[in-house]
Amino acid sequence: MAEDVDHRAHPELYRVGRGEQGVFRVEPYKSELLPLWRFATPDAARESSAAITEAFAAYLADGDLVGADMARKYLQMGYTRSRRYARHRGGRKYDGPVPDDKKGQSGAHGRDELPADPEDPVKAESARIFKAAWDAAAADETYQRLKAEHRENFG
């Protein structure tokens, strides 16, 4: 996924993937959504998930599947990061540094997972807020239709 591509102008270059792939690379959506993304407290998570959900709805209204999919990914990432901080106080899930050739990739890459801390109820609440918004976005009928059309047209 080239970082210098305007995916709004070239949606055919976007591949709908699983998970959070591309959240920090797909422009102009990264620049539009990243400033909205906050999860440190339940109040921040509520405000953030509402703003991202509003962007999701606007992208759908414009027929912009790429934007809607990216907004869905930011909601998912709000959930996953909140859960990580709920379980791992410092946010570190694995022991040791990430190997240089694996930066930006998911998975342990041969490192040991750190034991979970007692659950942080504040971060767990942030996770619940994002999970509800993520589930609603993923189940949206217009989103599902646009995603199917995008896959049919562009692979």
pLDDT tens digits, 106-134: 555 566 665 566 778 889 999 999 999 99
pLDDT, position 98: 54
Interval 46-85: pLDDT, tens:
999 999 999 999 999 999 999 999 999 999 999 999 998 8
Q: Which domain, by its residues, includes 46?
A: 35-92+117-155
pLDDT above 90 as % of the chain:
66
Residue 21 within a domain: no
* Cis-peptide into 121, omega within 30 deg: no
Task: Domain count for the chain, please give it.
Answer: 1
Cis bond leading into 28, ω under 30°? yes
110, part of any domain: no
The average pLDDT across 26-39 equals: 97
| This prediction's pTM | 0.83
In a domain, 122, yes or no: yes
Can you list the alpha helix ranges (DSSP code H) found in 17-140? 29-33, 42-61, 65-87, 121-139
Q: Residue 132 falls within a domain, yes or no?
A: yes
In a domain, 150, yes or no: yes
